[in-house]
Amino acid sequence: MNAATDRDFEAAAAAFAATVIGGHLDPEVEALIAQAGTLRDQPEKALPLLERARAQAPKHPVPLIAIYRFHFYGHALEKARAAGEDVLAIARAALGPDFGDVVPDDEATRGDAAVRFYLFTLKGLSYLNLRLGDLDEARLMLGELRRLDPKDHLGGGLLSHVLARHEAGGPAAMVDGPVDYPVRGWAPLGKPS
């Protein structure tokens, strides 16, 4: 993941928290997360603070995102994936049981906080599954991301291209892969994605 993706996800998370769940996070929970942030070099002290924050605000995405980042940047990718799956469940619940029956329109994909947060979380989990070598799960999530964001507003197509190149022949294909993939966007239908 890169700094731009991090900023996009942070913006989506902040908008989601503000508009969908009212943005309110108990000051004590905020303090626990902030204190954990000062203890980055002492993970054995930071993680319990983040876990307390999550226990005090179990339906709020911010403590889960903090735990996700803790594990992601600590290279504990399986634990980061588990936290991301919990974040995805919160986002999915906020969208309601019928979300996805109809593909969101461009306006929702670009401007609806809950939709964007869900899609960014799905993209992040796709990335983690690729990194962990769980290609079937990555493919499944990327397929859902493609279905819900067919114009690739969130840039999931790049991950799909990485997966296709990997499956086409490994490291050499990562550099010299199929040339008919666009710079950004999904592979044309009928092509590997």
Domain annotation covers residue 182: no
Print burial letters for 118-151: b (CB count within 10 Å at least 16), e (below 16). Answer: bbbbbbbbbbbbbeeeeeebbbebbeebbebbbe
Contact 177, 161 (CB under 8 A): yes
Domain annotation covers residue 116: yes
The angle that helices 77-95 and 113-131 make with each other, rounded to 10 degrees, is: 150
CATH of the domain at 145: 1.25.40.10
Domain annotation covers residue 130: yes
Domain annotation covers residue 193: no
Which domain range does residue 19 map to?
A: 3-176
User: How far apart (Å, rounded) are the C-alpha atoms in residues 57 and 51?
Assistant: 10
Count CB neighbours of 59 within 10 A.
Answer: 10
Domain annotation covers residue 188: no
* pTM (global) more than 0.85: no
Domain annotation covers residue 191: no
For 50, the 3-state DSSP assignment is helix
User: How far apart (Å, rounded) are the C-alpha atoms in residues 118 and 144?
Assistant: 11
Q: What is the pLDDT along the chain (193 residues), one digit of tens a residue?
A: 566 666 776 776 666 666 555 567 889 999 999 999 999 899 999 999 999 999 999 888 889 999 999 999 999 999 999 999 999 998 898 899 999 999 999 999 988 888 998 999 999 999 999 999 999 999 999 999 999 999 999 999 999 988 988 888 865 444 444 445 555 677 766 554 4
State the total domains in the chain: 1
Q: Given this model, what pLDDT does residue 101 score?
A: 93
Q: Given this model, what pLDDT does residue 26 score?
A: 87
Domain annotation covers residue 186: no
Q: Given this model, what pLDDT does residue 36 score?
A: 97
User: How far apart (Å, rounded) are the C-alpha atoms in residues 93 and 49?
Assistant: 26
Number of H helices, E strands in the chain: 10, 0
Q: Given this model, what pLDDT does residue 129 score?
A: 96
Give the amino acid at 126.
S
Domain annotation covers residue 183: no
